[in-house]
Structure 1
Amino acid sequence: MFAITVLILAVFLLFRLGILLVQKYHDARGTGRSFKRMLKSGALDAQVYEEAVWSEVEHFGKKRLRAKISREQQRIIRAAKTQMRDDFLDDIQPGFYQYIIIFLIASILGLVLEMVWMFVMFGIVESRVGLVWGPFSPLYGFGAVLLTMLLWKLRKKPWWVIFVVSAVTGGLLEQGTGWCMEYFMHAESWSYLHLPDHISQWVAWRFLAIWGCIGIAWCKVIMPELIYRIGEPTTTRQMTVVTLLTVFVAADIAMTLMCFYRAGKRQEGVPPGNPFEVYVDTHYNDEFMADTFENMTFTGPQR
């Protein structure tokens, strides 16, 4: 789990680097949607082309002029973009629209990277999903949302404050998830008992430190850009889609919890008590659970 969390962070950082390189190219050429938006809104004026060098280029048989903007003007453009982003971030308070998108991105990315990791490291192709419906690993989604909620107002605080909050948050997330899986679902997905610095079965000092570093990278580099890119909903269609996704994810989580609850009860020999539990036992039986959640070990009820 933890190696995948670090890998997810690396992918986000690479994505951020890619955006920076694209933006740098657009700034040098005076192109791109954000550049045009700043011209239209008045954040930049036409004088940005004052020292530009123009050349004629041909694309798909059509000739057009392309600008090469001076370094000084590029600095002005970057400063204007930074100011526009900071103004947006200062005015926005992330809500359910942003959180559900972050949850879905992190959940899907976490699942994909877990499967790739297992194949590359161990040559194993196995299901790493965390919900019964859809390609989601919700622990990563909840982790990303939780860090965003806790660190949003701390993003301008000293790094050590972010480090401590992130380390505590990561430790509580791992402890709470691991404990609930074992005592309510009779399942185990990871254990740190073999490590000399473990604090509990699901928490170790080395990983608390890395959670702190993850929080700093998330808070200072990834989260502001991600929230800025997500933006706010501007159409009814956007709100409708996100609302439907929220309902689906909530139903998926509820059904998954019920499936694990019944899996534990079946191990205890408790029969279904109503038609819905009969439906769950019929369609989401032990074979389904073992095939779907291949990375989990079902430990049986605690004695």
Structure 2
Amino acid sequence: MLQIFTLILAVYLIARGIIWLAQRYHDARGCGSSFKNLLREGKLDASVYADAVWSEVERFGKRRLRSKIAKRQRKLIRKVKNELRASYLSACTPSLYQYIIIFLISSVLGLLLETVYTLVVFGVLESRVGLIWGPFSPLYGCGAVLLTALLWEARDWPAWKIFCISAAIGGVLEQFAGWSMEHLAHAQSWTYLGLPDHISQWVAWRFLAMWGIVGLVWCRAILPELLYRIGEPTTTRQAAVVTLLAAFIALDAGMTVACFLRAGARANGIPPANPIDVYLDTRYGDSFMKDKFENMRIGQDLPPAPR
């Protein structure tokens, strides 16, 4: 449990540190898209450059002037940004556009976090992807979407309530995903049966606590900043790209389900019944599934989890 909490805290602090440094640099240099938008929208004016120190720099063979904003003006920039952020979040209701991006980001970061966790705690480095195409773990994407949908309006509730709701969401999600894989595709990706605190094969108290911590950090610290950064699409191109990504993920998920259903049928000795089954057996056979989903067993039980 301590390793889980430490890893989550370390990832969060590193991410926040990088964002903080980037914001401070942009404020000091008077650059970045958010700063330019403030100037364009009239939230800031040319007086922000008062007392700025200018220097000439060369980049990619071109010379240009670079500013260093005075400390007093930097405080003004941060004040305006914070006011706009608070105003946006107070009126914000997460949109489908934001949910799609949250799903994609969380699916990738969740996969990375799980990979690092298993490497650090168990000394095992293996593929833990959840879809056949791309570095995605949809369990974390679905978890982030559910946490967002159910906790956004409750973000000002007491911490213990958010913790309990997040733990319940994580437990239900893990139980549903594990049970579905077992009974529909005869596959197992994880098991907690070897842990002394397991509740079911797919739910354990320590991981409920992890979901609770993640949900609390997500709701209070990560989600407001993420929603503000994502915003709404300002161009047709942005909307089109996100729509294409959503279509790809839907196709990826559908193909993954088909592959697992067919893999389960193969494990039970059921021959292909149509050209689609033949294609799946040829292109996504047992060797592919074994290499792609290294932490998964199809047609057999996983060994008990190490304590």
SS for the counterpart of 2:127 is: coil
Change (3 A) 1:210 1:121: closer
Show the counterpart of 1:173.
173
Change (3 A) 1:57 1:108: same
Compute the displacement of 1:172 (Å).
0.8
Which range moved further: 29-38 or 188-197? Answer: 29-38
Which range moved further: 102-111 or 27-36? Answer: 27-36
Q: Can you give the 5+ residue segments of structure 1 that lack an aligned partner in the other structure?
A: none
Is this contact kept in 1: 2:191–2:201, CA < 8 A? yes
Show the counterpart of 1:83.
83
SS for the counterpart of 2:55 is: strand
SS for the counterpart of 1:190 is: coil
- 2:157 pairs with 1:157: yes
- 2:56 pairs with 1:55: no
Q: Percent identity?
A: 58
* RMSD of Structure 2 on Structure 1 (CA): 2.8
Change (3 A) 1:138 1:6: farther
Alignment of 1:223-302 (within 5 A): 223-300=223-300
Residues in 2 aligned to 1:203 and 1:267: alpha-carbon distance in whole angstroms: 26
Letter in 2 for 1:281: D
Show the counterpart of 1:140.
140
Residues in 2 aligned to 1:196 and 1:4: alpha-carbon distance in whole angstroms: 17
Show the counterpart of 1:221.
221
Which range moved further: 134-143 or 247-256? Answer: 134-143
Is this contact kept in 2: 1:259–1:284, CA < 8 A? yes
Residues in 2 aligned to 1:238 and 1:64: alpha-carbon distance in whole angstroms: 31
Residues in 2 aligned to 1:3 and 1:183: alpha-carbon distance in whole angstroms: 32
Letter in 1 for 2:104: L
Residues in 2 aligned to 1:123 and 1:209: alpha-carbon distance in whole angstroms: 22
- 2:138 pairs with 1:127: no
SS for the counterpart of 1:57 is: strand
Compute the displacement of 1:30 (Å).
4.3
Change (3 A) 1:238 1:191: same
Residues in 2 aligned to 1:5 and 1:187: alpha-carbon distance in whole angstroms: 29
Residues in 1 aligned to 2:110 and 2:66: alpha-carbon distance in whole angstroms: 43
Show the counterpart of 2:93.
93
Letter in 2 for 1:44: L
Letter in 2 for 1:78: R
Compute the displacement of 1:107 (Å).
1.8
Alignment of 1:180-219 (within 5 A): 180-219=180-219
Compute the displacement of 1:34 (Å).
2.1
SS for the counterpart of 1:153 is: coil
Compute the displacement of 1:9 (Å).
6.8
Show the counterpart of 1:26.
26
Change (3 A) 1:44 1:165: same
Residues in 1 aligned to 2:93 and 2:181: alpha-carbon distance in whole angstroms: 32
SS for the counterpart of 2:177 is: helix
Change (3 A) 1:94 1:65: closer
Change (3 A) 1:235 1:261: same
Is this contact kept in 2: 1:174–1:202, CA < 8 A? yes
SS for the counterpart of 1:200 is: coil
Is this contact kept in 1: 2:8–2:214, CA < 8 A? no
Compute the displacement of 1:143 (Å).
1.6
Compute the displacement of 1:226 (Å).
1.1
Change (3 A) 1:252 1:30: closer
Show the counterpart of 1:107.
107
Change (3 A) 1:257 1:58: same
Show the counterpart of 2:305.
none
Which range moved further: 133-142 or 27-36? Answer: 27-36
Show the counterpart of 1:69.
70
Compute the displacement of 1:243 (Å).
1.3
Is this contact kept in 2: 1:264–1:300, CA < 8 A? no
Residues in 2 aligned to 1:143 and 1:195: alpha-carbon distance in whole angstroms: 23
Equivalenced residues, count:
297
Residues in 2 aligned to 1:293 and 1:4: alpha-carbon distance in whole angstroms: 23
Show the counterpart of 2:304.
none
